[in-house]
Structure 1
Amino acid sequence: MAERPGRTAQGYRRFRCRGCGKQYNERSGGPLNQSQYPSDIIALVVLWRLRYRLILRDLAKIFLQHGLVFSHEAVRDWEAKLALVPAGELRRRRHGEVGTGTLTRRA
Protein backbone atom coordinates (compact mmCIF):
# COMPACT_ATOMS: atom_id res chain seq x y z
CA MET A 1 0.00 0.00 0.00
CA ALA A 2 1.34 3.40 -0.96
CA GLU A 3 -0.05 6.73 0.15
CA ARG A 4 -1.01 8.99 -2.72
CA PRO A 5 -0.45 12.74 -2.75
CA GLY A 6 -3.43 14.93 -1.99
CA ARG A 7 -6.61 14.20 -0.14
CA THR A 8 -10.25 13.50 -0.96
CA ALA A 9 -12.84 16.30 -1.04
CA GLN A 10 -13.62 15.59 2.63
CA GLY A 11 -9.95 15.58 3.64
CA TYR A 12 -9.26 11.84 3.88
CA ARG A 13 -5.88 10.42 2.89
CA ARG A 14 -5.72 8.45 -0.37
CA PHE A 15 -3.93 5.14 -0.95
CA ARG A 16 -3.16 2.78 -3.83
CA CYS A 17 -2.48 -0.94 -3.57
CA ARG A 18 0.90 -1.75 -5.10
CA GLY A 19 -0.23 -5.24 -6.06
CA CYS A 20 -3.51 -4.60 -7.87
CA GLY A 21 -3.47 -0.82 -8.35
CA LYS A 22 -6.82 -0.30 -6.63
CA GLN A 23 -7.34 3.12 -5.07
CA TYR A 24 -9.07 3.73 -1.75
CA ASN A 25 -9.12 6.16 1.16
CA GLU A 26 -9.20 6.03 4.96
CA ARG A 27 -12.96 5.55 5.00
CA SER A 28 -13.26 2.90 2.28
CA GLY A 29 -14.98 -0.26 3.37
CA GLY A 30 -16.30 1.24 6.60
CA PRO A 31 -19.92 1.67 7.63
CA LEU A 32 -19.90 5.35 6.62
CA ASN A 33 -18.18 4.99 3.27
CA GLN A 34 -21.02 6.47 1.18
CA SER A 35 -21.95 9.30 3.56
CA GLN A 36 -21.46 12.90 2.47
CA TYR A 37 -20.67 14.08 6.01
CA PRO A 38 -17.31 13.70 7.79
CA SER A 39 -17.03 10.71 10.10
CA ASP A 40 -16.30 12.83 13.17
CA ILE A 41 -19.55 14.80 12.73
CA ILE A 42 -21.56 11.60 12.32
CA ALA A 43 -19.89 10.08 15.39
CA LEU A 44 -20.71 13.21 17.40
CA VAL A 45 -24.38 13.09 16.36
CA VAL A 46 -24.65 9.41 17.34
CA LEU A 47 -22.80 10.02 20.61
CA TRP A 48 -25.20 12.81 21.56
CA ARG A 49 -28.16 10.62 20.59
CA LEU A 50 -27.01 7.73 22.75
CA ARG A 51 -25.52 9.70 25.65
CA TYR A 52 -28.17 12.39 26.11
CA ARG A 53 -31.14 10.49 24.66
CA LEU A 54 -32.03 13.34 22.33
CA ILE A 55 -34.93 13.04 19.91
CA LEU A 56 -33.95 12.46 16.29
CA ARG A 57 -35.62 15.63 15.05
CA ASP A 58 -34.04 17.69 17.83
CA LEU A 59 -30.56 16.56 16.78
CA ALA A 60 -31.24 17.60 13.21
CA LYS A 61 -32.41 21.03 14.45
CA ILE A 62 -29.38 21.50 16.72
CA PHE A 63 -26.94 20.83 13.90
CA LEU A 64 -29.00 22.94 11.47
CA GLN A 65 -28.18 25.92 13.67
CA HIS A 66 -24.50 25.16 13.00
CA GLY A 67 -24.97 24.93 9.23
CA LEU A 68 -25.21 21.15 8.82
CA VAL A 69 -28.38 20.01 7.07
CA PHE A 70 -29.52 16.41 7.45
CA SER A 71 -32.78 14.68 8.24
CA HIS A 72 -33.85 12.71 11.27
CA GLU A 73 -33.87 9.60 9.05
CA ALA A 74 -30.16 10.11 8.43
CA VAL A 75 -29.58 10.19 12.18
CA ARG A 76 -31.51 6.95 12.54
CA ASP A 77 -29.42 5.30 9.81
CA TRP A 78 -26.16 6.51 11.34
CA GLU A 79 -27.23 5.23 14.74
CA ALA A 80 -28.08 1.83 13.29
CA LYS A 81 -24.65 1.61 11.64
CA LEU A 82 -22.55 2.95 14.50
CA ALA A 83 -24.34 1.82 17.66
CA LEU A 84 -23.11 -1.73 17.11
CA VAL A 85 -19.46 -0.68 16.77
CA PRO A 86 -18.94 0.27 20.45
CA ALA A 87 -20.81 -2.84 21.59
CA GLY A 88 -18.52 -5.07 19.52
CA GLU A 89 -15.45 -3.23 20.77
CA LEU A 90 -16.54 -3.68 24.38
CA ARG A 91 -17.12 -7.38 23.82
CA ARG A 92 -13.62 -7.77 22.38
CA ARG A 93 -12.00 -5.96 25.31
CA ARG A 94 -13.97 -7.84 27.95
CA HIS A 95 -12.06 -11.16 27.59
CA GLY A 96 -14.68 -13.04 29.62
CA GLU A 97 -14.04 -11.15 32.83
CA VAL A 98 -17.64 -10.12 33.41
CA GLY A 99 -20.61 -12.44 33.38
CA THR A 100 -18.65 -15.65 33.66
CA GLY A 101 -20.64 -16.75 36.69
CA THR A 102 -17.67 -16.92 39.03
CA LEU A 103 -17.90 -14.69 42.04
CA THR A 104 -15.27 -14.46 44.70
CA ARG A 105 -16.33 -14.17 48.32
CA ARG A 106 -14.54 -12.11 50.85
CA ALA A 107 -14.32 -13.60 54.29
Structure 2
Amino acid sequence: MLTDELCPHCAMTTTTKRAKKTKLGYATFFCPHCQRTFNERTGTPFNYLEFPTDIVLLAIVWRLRYKLSLRDIAEMFLARGFPFTHEAIRDWEARFAPLMADHLRARRRGQAGKSWHVDGTYLKVHGK
Protein backbone atom coordinates (compact mmCIF):
# COMPACT_ATOMS: atom_id res chain seq x y z
CA MET A 1 0.00 0.00 0.00
CA LEU A 2 1.67 3.23 -1.16
CA THR A 3 1.52 6.18 1.23
CA ASP A 4 2.31 9.87 1.09
CA GLU A 5 4.79 9.48 3.94
CA LEU A 6 8.06 11.21 3.07
CA CYS A 7 11.21 9.12 3.49
CA PRO A 8 13.51 11.00 5.90
CA HIS A 9 16.58 9.44 4.25
CA CYS A 10 16.04 10.11 0.54
CA ALA A 11 12.92 12.38 0.55
CA MET A 12 10.96 10.09 -1.79
CA THR A 13 7.19 9.84 -1.35
CA THR A 14 6.81 6.34 -2.80
CA THR A 15 6.88 4.58 0.57
CA THR A 16 4.81 1.64 1.71
CA LYS A 17 3.24 1.21 5.11
CA ARG A 18 4.22 -2.01 6.84
CA ALA A 19 2.01 -4.07 9.13
CA LYS A 20 4.69 -4.17 11.80
CA LYS A 21 4.62 -1.44 14.44
CA THR A 22 7.36 -0.27 16.77
CA LYS A 23 7.51 -1.28 20.42
CA LEU A 24 5.72 1.97 21.31
CA GLY A 25 3.02 1.41 18.67
CA TYR A 26 4.22 3.75 15.92
CA ALA A 27 3.61 2.83 12.29
CA THR A 28 6.61 1.70 10.23
CA PHE A 29 7.27 2.40 6.57
CA PHE A 30 9.58 1.03 3.86
CA CYS A 31 11.19 3.08 1.10
CA PRO A 32 11.83 1.01 -2.06
CA HIS A 33 14.16 3.70 -3.42
CA CYS A 34 16.78 3.64 -0.65
CA GLN A 35 15.75 0.23 0.80
CA ARG A 36 15.37 1.63 4.33
CA THR A 37 12.75 1.17 7.00
CA PHE A 38 11.65 4.07 9.19
CA ASN A 39 8.85 5.01 11.55
CA GLU A 40 6.74 8.09 12.28
CA ARG A 41 9.36 9.60 14.59
CA THR A 42 12.43 9.05 12.39
CA GLY A 43 14.09 12.35 11.63
CA THR A 44 12.35 14.20 14.47
CA PRO A 45 13.77 15.33 17.83
CA PHE A 46 11.61 12.64 19.47
CA ASN A 47 13.22 9.75 17.59
CA TYR A 48 15.25 8.09 20.34
CA LEU A 49 12.84 8.54 23.25
CA GLU A 50 11.96 5.43 25.22
CA PHE A 51 8.46 6.74 25.96
CA PRO A 52 5.58 7.85 23.71
CA THR A 53 5.79 11.43 22.47
CA ASP A 54 2.47 12.43 23.98
CA ILE A 55 3.57 11.28 27.45
CA VAL A 56 6.81 13.27 27.22
CA LEU A 57 5.00 16.40 26.05
CA LEU A 58 2.38 16.01 28.78
CA ALA A 59 5.09 15.81 31.45
CA ILE A 60 6.67 19.00 30.10
CA VAL A 61 3.34 20.84 29.95
CA TRP A 62 2.51 19.83 33.53
CA ARG A 63 5.96 21.00 34.64
CA LEU A 64 5.66 24.38 32.94
CA ARG A 65 1.96 25.06 33.43
CA TYR A 66 1.45 23.89 37.01
CA LYS A 67 4.95 24.52 38.39
CA LEU A 68 5.17 20.99 39.76
CA SER A 69 8.48 19.64 40.97
CA LEU A 70 10.35 17.13 38.86
CA ARG A 71 9.91 14.45 41.51
CA ASP A 72 6.15 15.11 41.78
CA ILE A 73 5.68 14.63 38.05
CA ALA A 74 7.78 11.46 38.04
CA GLU A 75 5.67 10.13 40.93
CA MET A 76 2.39 11.00 39.15
CA PHE A 77 3.45 9.16 36.01
CA LEU A 78 4.75 6.20 38.01
CA ALA A 79 1.24 5.80 39.44
CA ARG A 80 0.01 5.66 35.81
CA GLY A 81 2.52 2.97 34.82
CA PHE A 82 5.31 5.09 33.27
CA PRO A 83 8.49 4.58 35.30
CA PHE A 84 10.89 7.42 34.52
CA THR A 85 13.05 9.52 36.80
CA HIS A 86 12.98 13.20 37.64
CA GLU A 87 16.26 13.54 35.74
CA ALA A 88 14.57 12.31 32.56
CA ILE A 89 11.94 15.04 32.93
CA ARG A 90 14.67 17.64 33.45
CA ASP A 91 16.39 16.49 30.26
CA TRP A 92 13.13 16.50 28.31
CA GLU A 93 12.33 20.00 29.52
CA ALA A 94 15.74 21.27 28.42
CA ARG A 95 15.40 19.60 25.01
CA PHE A 96 11.77 20.10 24.11
CA ALA A 97 10.48 23.20 25.94
CA PRO A 98 12.30 25.55 23.51
CA LEU A 99 10.85 23.58 20.56
CA MET A 100 7.37 23.89 22.03
CA ALA A 101 7.84 27.62 22.61
CA ASP A 102 9.02 28.15 19.03
CA HIS A 103 6.07 26.17 17.68
CA LEU A 104 3.57 28.14 19.77
CA ARG A 105 5.22 31.45 18.90
CA ALA A 106 4.99 30.66 15.17
CA ARG A 107 1.28 29.89 15.47
CA ARG A 108 0.45 32.98 17.53
CA ARG A 109 -1.93 35.30 15.74
CA GLY A 110 -2.58 38.97 16.22
CA GLN A 111 -0.59 41.69 17.85
CA ALA A 112 -0.83 43.63 21.07
CA GLY A 113 -3.45 46.39 20.73
CA LYS A 114 -3.95 49.68 22.54
CA SER A 115 -5.57 48.13 25.60
CA TRP A 116 -4.43 45.12 27.54
CA HIS A 117 -6.27 43.16 30.20
CA VAL A 118 -4.05 42.41 33.18
CA ASP A 119 -5.16 40.86 36.47
CA GLY A 120 -5.25 43.58 39.11
CA THR A 121 -2.31 45.58 37.80
CA TYR A 122 -2.43 49.18 36.60
CA LEU A 123 0.35 50.80 34.64
CA LYS A 124 0.96 54.49 34.09
CA VAL A 125 2.70 55.33 30.83
CA HIS A 126 3.71 58.94 30.10
CA GLY A 127 1.33 60.20 32.81
CA LYS A 128 -1.73 58.43 31.38
Alignment TM-score, normalising by the size of structure 1? 0.81
Find the counterpart in structure 2 of residue 22 from structure 1. Answer: 36
Query: What does residue range 32-51 of structure 1 map to in structure 2 within 5 Å?
Result: 32-51=46-65
Segments of 4+ moved more than 3 angstroms = none
Which of 55, 71, 77 is matched with 1:63 structurally?
Answer: 77
Identity of aligned residues (%): 45
CA RMSD in angstroms, aligned pairs only: 2.0
* TM-score, length basis structure 2: 0.69
CA distance in 2, matches of 1:72, 1:30: 23
Which of these residues, 104, 118, 123, is aligned with residue 90 of structure 1? 104
Identify unmatched segments of 5+ residues in structure 1: none
State how many pairs are aligned. Answer: 101
Structure with the largest fraction of helix: 1
Query: Which one scores higher on RCO, CA 8 angstroms, separation ≥ 6?
Result: 1
State which structure, 1 or 2, has the greater radius of gyration over its C-alpha atoms.
2
